[in-house]
Structure 1
Amino acid sequence: MKKSALIYFNRLREQLWFRPLIFCIISIIGALLARFADGTGLKELVPNIKTESIVGLLTTISSSMLVIAIFAVSSMIAAFSAASNTATPRSFKIVVTDDASKNALSMFIGAFIFSIVSTVALENGYYGDAGRFVLFVFTLLFFASVILTFLRWVDRISRLGRLEHTINQVEEVALISLKNHIKNPLLKGIPVSNTINKNVFITPLKIGYIQFIDMDSLQKLAEAHHITIQLSATPGAYVHSNSPLVYLSTAQGLDMEDISKKINEAIRIGSTRLFEEDPRFGLIALSEIASRALSPGINDPGTAIQIIGSQVRLFFLWNDTNTKDETDVTRFDRIEVPELPTYEFFESAFRPISRDGANNIEVMLRLQKAYTSLATINHSEIQETARSYSETSYNRAKQQLSFKSDLELLKEKSFFLKVKTPTE
């Protein structure tokens, strides 16, 4: 339930209105809180601040903040649109969560609300001498914060939406998700066995992508009914109403309608994929950026080569022997979880680039270098899959490259020709 609540809170945080609303509430509380200083002995210690001087400062803030807030929203929308057009529409979810831009917009709107509430309170005699002094200090702090926030935001907005910055953002999100997957590939469940009856299954009530699986709820359900639950797929998989969502070890003594309802509540299905729980989605978003760059209308192989470098960095997470979580790996001993095969990660990361860049010698050479690098990872499946994809990429290029010297160079650099399988 904690994980489910965290997922919901993260979705709420992504909404553009959420943080400005919090800042507005804080601003109103701060404006009204200054009055409590009148009930203390602070009046004898602080200078008497004239109402006119505070009103003048607040008027300056109120008249400028609304304009700046509108300008900030316009700039953010332009940046979001640029990210979707130059990179991939899937990157919009990442760019829109930019904390610096949200904090700036929240500060601007919060300062505007603070100035309006404080001005009304001042002109109606809400504050005494101490209250006016505290309000003056609050106003100066707000003013300084707005200036610093604006300067930081200008630097941020100049990069937000640019292709290179978007690639870095997508890579960062993919890294977190992939690292979590490598740490717990079975979601702390147990491997799939052959003891589950495939004739007893629950189908999803919705059609879409699996976004999140509440393993705690499934474990409690399985323990309560003394059954084993086998997942048919993990987050990122597409399911429909005629496909099995989970398999059950038995149906005897079970209220299947109630079980179906609880399982569908524990497995969230939505119309889109989420980066946090789906380890392949970040790789897919990066490969989409590369495919767009390799399209004839854009013809930017440099971006595709940069994406290949990002993909290699992400795959080298498997090279870190400390990523495995050795503690409490099998918390959910009644839930069987299928493990994602390595080739699916390669398909997500390299197949689109191999297809769309087959006629570009620079891209294909960089791909072969990438496969050579990945083969050094101490992971037998990655090594074998790198060899297989090296051969596949070469065969694609063989059909597209017409210049003989390019093809000979690629053949010389192709990783699969440098190694032989035990059967060979």
Structure 2
Amino acid sequence: MDRIKNIFYKIRSKIAFYPSLISFGGLTLAFFMIYLEKIDISGYLMEVAPGLVINNTDTAKTLLSTLIGGLISLTVFSFSMVMILLNQASSNFSPRVLPGIISDQKHQVVLGLYISTILYNIFILVSIEPTDNSYQTPGFSVLIGIALTVLCLASFIYFIHHISQAIQVGTILTDIHEKTKSEIEYVLKEEKEKSSNFEDTENWEKNVINKTGYFYGVLKENLLKICVEHDIKIAINLFKGQFILDGTIGLLSEKQLSEKQEKEIMNALLFSQEELMGENYIYGFRQISEIGIKAMSPGINDPGTALNTIDYLTSLFILLMKKTECEYLNDAEGTNWARIKNVKFSEVLYNVMASYRLYCKHDITVMRKLMYMLRTLEANVVNSNHMADIRIEMEQLQIDAKSNVENNRDLDKLNSEFISWS
């Protein structure tokens, strides 16, 4: 079941997923209406409610042809808008925000509605047969086609509104922040329900990873079943997003693995040839920091966005400090069978700060904001090791500021309280 969920998640993130499903629904509706026309539903409605039926064949053909042509133009324009949105997001923010925009269900549903209505109208148009019997004209089906077209026009208005909101940096940052926050909170909730007791792995057997690609998780149910079935405890020293080369020692086992057991465990590890956003909360830190750094480039020169990204990062770092450095898989009795390595808080903080220090060291406002973030984290620290990591970053920030900011008054302001003037 875990593997099926993983496959479904990968398919669902594709831009063609919902359009394909909705288009199939349009085809199904078209064939259903053709069937109803064969049992003379239009003839019945002509007697009961003649105002709902178009009983002129030429009028029906003209209407359907016009609707099809108009909807094709609308679809092309909407697809062009999506491509412009993706190009602009990649240029102004970061290429890594594209998967989130592509997988936006609202865009996919609107495009799917266009295509399904086009297919519906085409098949209804094809079903019109030349005859002198006015009731042979699928009048009621044409009315349904008109109603679907009106729905498409309403969807187009919503599409324009939504896409104009989606391209705004505030919306993108909020979406990334909320998604990353929910992922960290989910992990924290799981940690509270599990024990962190695990054997010392110093003398465990080392096993080689025989795959190459980006590691993006495990099939938890499958891996737990393998461990319990073979009475093997394992430790995975890989973290999500890490690129693994064939031959890397990344798996420790309590005892020697047979060839079959090793193959089963390897099949439970997920690898990809490209970086996948998935449920890896670390990508949230990476995306937000890249947007902030890109905003400080000479071509964009938007320090206000950089300041906003630091606010979101502060919120996420406070949550990240509450996390442990490992994730555990346990059975119904609470016994931990597998341990999975997580990226350390110190590593995430260093990567974010190193990038900001390099590209923002000339801007005292951003540097003050970074110092304010570090002091906020210091006030919310939950682990003494985290305190040491934060103070190291404070020292490095001061060193870079003294080397790149020439105004002594600005340097004096570095450690003062930051007051937002936005």
Are the counterparts in 1 of residues 321 and 345 from structure 2 also a CA contact under 8 Å?
no
Q: 109, 112, 117: which one pairs with 1:106?
A: 112
Q: Secondary structure at the match of 1:244?
A: strand
* Distance of 1:99 and 1:106 partners within structure 2: 10
**Residues 332 and 75 (structure 1 numbering): CA distance in 2 closer, same or farther, change over 3 Å?**
farther
Aligned to 1:406: 410
Aligned to 1:259: 261
In the alignment, does 2:10 pair up with 1:11?
yes
* Distance of 1:72 and 1:393 partners within structure 2: 46
Aligned-pair CA distance for 1:402: 1.4
* Distance of 2:346 and 2:304 partners within structure 1: 25
AA aligned to 1:212 is: G
AA aligned to 2:280 is: D
Aligned to 1:23: 22
* Distance of 1:269 and 1:412 partners within structure 2: 46
In the alignment, does 2:92 pair up with 1:81?
no
AA aligned to 2:404 is: Q
84-93 vs 405-414, which moves further: 405-414
Aligned-pair CA distance for 1:297: 3.9
CA deviation digits over 1:104-140, x for unaligned, max 9?
A: 2211111111111111112367x99599354244223
Aligned-pair CA distance for 1:318: 5.7
Aligned to 2:327: none
AA aligned to 2:103 is: T
Aligned to 2:295: 293
CA deviation digits over 1:263-284, x for unaligned, max 9?
A: 2211111233332321211101
Q: 98, 101, 115: which one pairs with 1:92?
A: 98
**Residues 331 and 93 (structure 1 numbering): CA distance in 2 closer, same or farther, change over 3 Å?**
farther
AA aligned to 1:87 is: F
**Residues 176 and 124 (structure 1 numbering): CA distance in 2 closer, same or farther, change over 3 Å?**
farther
CA deviation digits over 1:39-87, x for unaligned, max 9?
A: 4985564435314344333222101111111111111111101111111
In the alignment, does 2:301 pair up with 1:313?
no
* Distance of 1:192 and 1:124 partners within structure 2: 78
**Residues 83 and 267 (structure 1 numbering): CA distance in 2 closer, same or farther, change over 3 Å?**
same
* Distance of 1:167 and 1:399 partners within structure 2: 31
**Residues 51 and 176 (structure 1 numbering): CA distance in 2 closer, same or farther, change over 3 Å?**
farther
In the alignment, does 2:365 pair up with 1:366?
no
Q: TM-score, normalised by structure 2?
A: 0.85
Residues 211-290 of structure 1: matches in 2 within 5 Å? Answer: 211-251=216-256, 254-256=257-259, 258-290=260-292
AA aligned to 2:339 is: E
**Residues 212 and 137 (structure 1 numbering): CA distance in 2 closer, same or farther, change over 3 Å?**
farther
* Distance of 2:353 and 2:388 partners within structure 1: 15
AA aligned to 2:69 is: S
Aligned to 1:324: none
AA aligned to 1:275 is: M
In the alignment, does 2:333 pair up with 1:334?
no
* Distance of 1:183 and 1:89 partners within structure 2: 31
* Distance of 1:273 and 1:154 partners within structure 2: 30
Count of aligned residue pairs for this structure pair: 405
Aligned-pair CA distance for 1:237: 2.5
**Residues 319 and 137 (structure 1 numbering): CA distance in 2 closer, same or farther, change over 3 Å?**
farther
AA aligned to 2:100 is: I
RMSD: 3.2
Are the counterparts in 1 of residues 215 and 244 from structure 2 also a CA contact under 8 Å?
yes
AA aligned to 2:77 is: F
CA deviation digits over 1:183-220, x for unaligned, max 9?
A: 3359968555314634x233222222211211211111
In the alignment, does 2:147 pair up with 1:174?
no
* Distance of 2:86 and 2:183 partners within structure 1: 22
Are the counterparts in 2 of residues 208 and 240 from structure 1 also a CA contact under 8 Å?
yes
* Distance of 1:17 and 1:150 partners within structure 2: 18
Aligned to 2:400: 396
* Distance of 2:63 and 2:335 partners within structure 1: 59
Residues 32-111 of structure 1: matches in 2 within 5 Å? Answer: 32-37=31-36, 39=39, 43=45, 45-47=48-50, 48-52=53-57, 53-111=59-117
Q: TM-score, normalised by structure 1?
A: 0.84
Q: Secondary structure at the match of 2:30?
A: helix
Q: 304, 307, 311: which one pairs with 2:306?
A: 304
Aligned to 1:418: none
Q: 337, 347, 350: which one pairs with 2:350?
A: 347
* Distance of 1:51 and 1:348 partners within structure 2: 70
**Residues 412 and 190 (structure 1 numbering): CA distance in 2 closer, same or farther, change over 3 Å?**
closer
Aligned to 1:417: none
Aligned-pair CA distance for 1:316: 4.1
**Residues 373 and 134 (structure 1 numbering): CA distance in 2 closer, same or farther, change over 3 Å?**
farther
Aligned to 1:420: none
**Residues 226 and 46 (structure 1 numbering): CA distance in 2 closer, same or farther, change over 3 Å?**
same
**Residues 58 and 332 (structure 1 numbering): CA distance in 2 closer, same or farther, change over 3 Å?**
farther
